[in-house]
Amino acid sequence: MRLSETLDDADAAEVAIATRLRLAVGRLHRRLSRRAVGGLTPSQLSVLVTVEQHGPLRLGELAAREVITPPTVTRLVASLHERDLVKRVTDPEDGRAALIEVADIGRALLDEIRRERTAFIAQRIARLDPESRAEIAGAVALLERLLDLPDES
């Protein structure tokens, strides 16, 4: 069953909640993306995070994970390399090939971005009354449960 067919079978209230959740998460994502420090584009940040989480990676693997073309990933990695955010290392399995990994400066920048984004959200939560803060905590727990549900095949 396709996801769109599931939507057709869903209760109208569930669809309304799902729509509001999608829109709220999208708005939060856009606000956090605009607050990126370090002058990284969203694409550069995405590549840097992917290398951090899955690296070291060959350029082809990175392009596949990011679902972008090899020339695009090469350009993005070059821009990150120029800023010393990533480094090229020799592939231990094939000395002719290079792997991309996050450099210490890149790791520090990612830590800074995460701290800044967390602080942004924490500042907003702090402006809420205690009851609303408790509701947010409960909502986060529910979102985590929602994300942990297995996908239906």
Question: Would the pLDDT of 20 be above 60?
Answer: yes
pLDDT, tens digit, 9 for 90 and up, residues 76-111: 999 999 999 999 999 888 888 899 999 999 999 999
1 DSSP assignment: -
pLDDT of residue 152: 81
What residues contact 33, with CB distance under 8 A and at least 6 apart? 42, 45
Question: What are the beta bridge partners of residue 102?
Answer: 86
Domain spans of the chain, in order of start: 1-34, 35-148
Give the DSSP letter string of 69-111. -HHHHHHHHHHHHHTTSEEEEEETTEEEEEEEEE-HHHHHHHH
The CATH number of domain 35-148 is 1.10.3720.10: no
Cα separation, 25 vs 36, in Å, equals: 17
Structure tokens given for 51: 């290398």
pLDDT of residue 111: 95
Query: 123 vs 36, which has greater pLDDT?
Result: 123
Question: Would the pLDDT of 7 be above 70?
Answer: no
**Please, are residues 80 and 48 in contact by the beta-carbon 8 Å criterion?**
yes
What residues contact 90, with CB distance under 8 A and at least 6 apart? 97, 98, 99
Question: Would the pLDDT of 118 be above 80?
Answer: yes
The pLDDT > 90 percentage for the chain reads 75
Question: What are the beta bridge partners of residue 94?
Answer: 91
